[in-house]
């Protein structure tokens, strides 16, 4: 997708990017004629002669579709259109991904036509079987069957490879042996499907009583852990370490933790890296188990989960988990660096498609670190997919800037902007075996 509007040989650079020197053409990856003639003349023939195609920026169809938007914004819009269509087709983040209504089918057909039109503008006239199916057959298939996976044979095809491998290793031949192997594979597949369905049902049952499970927490008496297996929610948590609040406060950004809990610095709590939570999805999908993690080093890199949660006032907030405490006042909780909703750029493609722009929430402009907030595990709704605002990051720190290389200063934290990712498929349709 990216190489289409910026890379083909027939595309002519906008005036600000045009070059005439041979060195610059080579640096940009452009073809240069080397017929032994005058190099400047050769380059001029390449730029203005038979090799020149349409100018994408000045193309009327581009202006009608994207206005005066930069090419990178046009590409980003196209990718979001494709992600939105994909999520609808496969039931991502829907209450019931197995059902497709006629209204949803019409919406998907409209999105498909718009996406194909966008691709034609960016990449030129393309004729492929995939685009043909999207334009002419997708709506009819949705209205006839109800979805696009009832006739999916990919899993059956995947089983063929193991059947062939088993058949090649035997000295017997004949259709009866092949049928025997096929039935064995199908039996194994059905058993695995039964196990998966039982696990999903257990997660649904656990989600209905998630609040009750959160309250049934580990009891710590004199540093000895008791009743660790009283809830399914805590069985997947790692073994905790009893630490004092004063020790935890020594970590960056956690000063003032004792004030948050209103306890003396000598008080202790059980701290873990990971704890399991039954997610609550705002689109009404059945609950699933998610791991809430806070680790300075996990598999070679830091891992601090972003979560969506309810604060004390019942308002939905976003935060980054800094500490997971398994036993504070008999209840498990997490401590987050709280985030706030940042000013939105109405012309931003991410904002247009529903991504929420966020910033760190500071109690005072003089504070070096964001606000600390303790959140009971029962108030945690689900994990969140949060990314840096890369355009803002590059404008302030250059194109080579990465989150790991940013200066760890209060000024940088105040200036940082992030985005939620609405296209991340937290729930989707279950795999089906045939």
Condensed to tens digits (0 to 9), the pLDDT of residues 51-78 reads 345 567 777 888 888 888 888 888 898 9
Closest CA to 178 of 162, 190, 193: 162
Q: What is the pLDDT of residue 360?
A: 96
Contact 366, 402 (CB under 8 A): no
* Residue 56 DSSP SS3: coil
Specify which residues 12 forms β-bridges with.
none
Residues ≥6 apart with Cβ < 8 Å to 296 = 251, 302
For the chain, the straight-line distance linking the first and the last C-alpha, in angstroms and rounded, comes to: 34
Instruction: Give the span between the Cα atoms of 360 and 369, in whole angstroms.
Output: 9
Residue 25: pLDDT band (50, 70, 90) is very low
**430: part of which helix (H) or strand (E)?**
none
Phi, psi for residue 314 in degrees, rounded to 5: 85, 10
The yes-or-no verdict on residue 410 having pLDDT over 90 is yes
Question: What pLDDT digit, counting tens, does each position of 160-192 carry?
Answer: 666 677 666 666 666 677 677 777 777 777 777
Specify which residues 316 forms β-bridges with.
310
* Residue 224 DSSP SS3: strand
Contact 72, 350 (CB under 8 A): no
For the chain, give the mean pLDDT: 76
Which of 50-54, 92-96, 125-129 is modeled with the greatest confidence? 92-96
Angle of helix 175-208 versus helix 154-168 axis, rounded to 10: 130
The string of DSSP codes covering 322-345 is EEEEEEETTEEEEEEEEEEEPPP-
Instruction: Give the span between the Cα atoms of 409 and 387, in whole angstroms.
Output: 19
Q: What is the pLDDT of residue 172?
A: 65
Instruction: Give the span between the Cα atoms of 167 and 178, in whole angstroms.
Output: 7
Instruction: Give the span between the Cα atoms of 360 and 292, in whole angstroms.
Output: 20
The yes-or-no verdict on residue 432 having pLDDT over 60 is no
């Amino acid at each position: 997708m990216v190489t289409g509007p910026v890379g083909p040989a027939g595309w002519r650079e906008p005036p600000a990017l045009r070059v005439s020197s041979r060195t610059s053409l080579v640096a940009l990856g452009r073809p240069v004629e080397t017929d032994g003639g005058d190099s400047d003349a050769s380059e001029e023939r390449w730029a203005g002669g038979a090799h020149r195609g349409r100018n994408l920026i000045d193309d009327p169809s581009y202006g009608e579709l994207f206005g005066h938007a930069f090419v990178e914004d046009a590409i980003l819009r196209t990718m979001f259109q494709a992600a939105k269509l994909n999520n609808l087709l496969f039931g991502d983040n829907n209450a019931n991904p197995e059902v497709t209504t006629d209204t949803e089918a019409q919406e998907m057909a409209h999105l498909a036509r718009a996406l194909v039109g966008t691709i034609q503008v960016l990449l030129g006239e393309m004729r492929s079987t995939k685009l043909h199916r999207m334009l002419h057959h997708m709506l009819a298939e949705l209205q006839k069957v109800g979805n696009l996976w009832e006739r999916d044979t990919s899993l059956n095809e995947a089983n063929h490879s193991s059947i062939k491998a088993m058949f090649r290793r035997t000295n017997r031949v004949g259709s009866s042996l092949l049928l025997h192997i096929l039935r064995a594979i199908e039996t194994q597949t059905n058993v695995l499907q039964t196990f998966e369905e039982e696990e999903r049902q257990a997660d649904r049952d656990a989600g209905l009583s998630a609040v009750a499970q959160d309250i049934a927490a580990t009891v710590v008496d004199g540093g000895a852990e008791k009743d660790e297996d009283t809830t399914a929610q805590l069985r997947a948590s790692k073994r905790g370490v009893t630490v004092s609040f004063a020790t935890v406060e020594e970590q960056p950004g956690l000063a003032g933790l004792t004030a948050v809990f209103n306890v003396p610095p000598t008080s202790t709590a059980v701290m873990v890296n990971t704890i399991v939570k039954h997610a609550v999805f705002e689109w009404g999908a059945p609950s699933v188990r998610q791991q809430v993690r806070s680790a300075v080093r996990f598999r070679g890199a830091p891992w601090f989960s972003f979560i969506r949660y309810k604060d004390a006032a019942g308002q939905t907030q976003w935060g980054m988990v800094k500490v997971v405490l398994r036993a504070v006042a008999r209840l498990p909780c997490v401590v987050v660096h709280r985030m706030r909703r940042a000013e939105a750029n109405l012309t931003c493609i991410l904002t247009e498609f529903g991504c929420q722009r966020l910033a760190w929430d500071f109690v005072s402009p003089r504070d070096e670190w964001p606000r600390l907030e303790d959140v009971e595990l029962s108030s945690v709704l689900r994990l969140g997919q949060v990314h840096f605002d890369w355009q803002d990051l590059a404008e302030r720190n250059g194109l080579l800037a990465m989150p790991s290389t940013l200066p760890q200063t209060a000024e940088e934290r105040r200036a940082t902007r992030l985005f939620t990712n609405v296209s991340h498929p937290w729930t989707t349709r279950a795999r089906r075996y045939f």
